[in-house]
Amino acid sequence: MKTTAAVLRSASGPFAIEEIDLPALAPDEALIRVAGVGMCHTDLLAREGGPRARPPIVLGHEASGVVEDVGAGVLGIRRGDHAIASFLSCDRCPNCRHGQPAYCEDFFSLNLDGAPQGSRLATDRHGHPVATRWFGQSTFATHAIVSARALVPIDRDLPLEPLGPLGCGILTGASSVLRALKVPPRSTFAVFGSGSVGIAAVMAARLAGASRIIAVDADPGRLEVARALGADDTIVPQDGMLEEQIRDIVPDGVQNCLDTTGAPAVIAAAVAALRVTGCCGLVGVQRGSLRLPSSALSAGKTVTGILVGDAVPRVTIPQLLDYWRQGRFPFDKLIAQYKLSEINQAERDCAAGTTIKAVLVPDA
């Protein structure tokens, strides 16, 4: 079938709104009508070059929508279901079988290739292929073919448009706190970077009962949002002083922290600002080699890499929706809505920091 999609045709060029032809459904796939799809920093990896996510490609990997058709082998998903599309895992490797789908042995090839070997791709009006397997969904479009394993059915009484970011960005921040780091009640917590992932982590730390929550960012406007949604203290980092700024608030250091920036200097300061036995989680795309002093991990400190918050989407997303219904996890306050045709403006606003989480909805 034909769909309207935002196609990235070159790493440095704008998204182009085009009509493309989707392939026929495979037995393990579903067709969804996209209601809303978040724009995530991971989508912009296609702009950085390299072997993965090569244009022309349709990006988008945190969508909500309505299931319009299912493949012959799909179980548990039916036409008319409302669902959130999250990341894809194989369901077969040891990590998947032991409840750790975020660490699927094939995670990177399944999610970040856009056109894995042997996959069936869409075609443009000239009959040329367009990659449409980004995270098994490619949902910067009005309709998308999604691997059924990536779909999480949700209640039909929920408003669909704002829920897509629960599939990745918001999921990553919240689950990193609640599932990966297991931030305990009455503990201290700091997050470095106050974008959508970081502020989701702030809200989750408040849910976990942390007694002191610190948000760090260079943008005072984002820090205002972080404070409104649960941060007790906010810090605009000063050159070479970030550890001291943290310890001015928590002299013994923080028990847990989460870096969303990927900046080696920030990560080094975060580790230095940990208390004895403290743990630093890393979710940001790394932007260079990390070098730590030889004594950095003494006294039981740990640094751990985290993918998608250790989340199990069909377990974690319903839990976050319950918190949202209760008014305890107001992630929707981070969202600014754009039409799909406004995708380039949405990208500029996210890059400028004026929008924390852009959600694209179909044009009327």
Provide the strand spans (E) within the chain. Answer: 2-8, 15-21, 29-38, 57-58, 63-70, 82-85, 122-123, 129-130, 143-147, 151-154, 188-192, 212-216, 233-235, 254-259, 274-282, 302-305, 335-339, 357-361
Q: Where are the alpha helices (DSSP H) in 86-229?
A: 94-97, 107-112, 169-175, 196-208, 220-228
How far apart CA 154 and CA 68 sit, in angstroms, is: 15
pLDDT tens profile 255-310: 999 999 999 999 999 999 999 999 999 997 888 899 999 999 989 999 999 999 99
Provide the residue type at 314 as one letter.
Answer: R
pLDDT at 45 (0 to 100): 85
pTM of the model: 0.96
More confidently predicted of 364 and 279: 279
- Expressed in angstroms, the distance from the first to the final Cα of the chain is 19
Is 71:148 a contact under the CB 8 Å cutoff?
Answer: yes
% of the chain residues with pLDDT over 70: 99
Whether the pLDDT of residue 117 is over 90: the answer is: no
pLDDT tier for residue 170 given thresholds of 50, 70 and 90: very high
**pLDDT, tens digit, 9 for 90 and up, residues 298-356:** 899 999 999 999 999 999 999 999 999 999 999 999 999 999 999 999 999 999 999 99
The SS3 call for residue 72 is: coil
Q: What percent of the chain has pLDDT over 90?
A: 91
pLDDT value at residue 50: 65
Q: Provide, for the chain, the percentages of residues in helix, strand and coil under a 3-state DSSP scheme, each rounded to the nearest 5.
A: 30, 25, 40
* Per-residue confidence (pLDDT) for residue 254, from 0 to 100: 98
* Residues comprising the chain, all counted: 364
User: Cα–Cα distances in Å, from 138 out to 8, 145, 218, 312?
Assistant: 11, 8, 32, 20
Structure token pair of residue 68: 């319009």
Any idea where the domains of the chain sit in the sequence?
2-167+330-361, 171-309
- Reported for 292-295, long-range contacts at CB under 8 A and 24+ positions apart, including other chains, are 292/268
CATH, domain range 171-309: 3.40.50.720
Just give the CATH number of 2-167+330-361. 3.90.180.10
Q: Which residue has tokens 């194989």? A: 90
| CB-neighbour burial class of residue 79 (10 A; exposed 0-12, middle 13-18, buried 19+) | exposed
Compute the mean pLDDT over every residue in the chain, rounded to the nearest whole number. Answer: 95
Longest CA pairwise span in the chain (Å): 63
- How far is residue 57's CA from residue 231's CA, in Å, rounded to a whole number? 38
Cα dihedral 207→208→211→213 (10° resolution): -70
Q: How confident is the model at residue 51 (pLDDT cuts 50, 70, 90)?
A: low
- 120 contact partners, CB below 8 Å, separation of at least 6: 23, 24, 26
CA 89 to CA 309: how far, in whole Å? 14
The identity of residue 45, as a single letter, is L
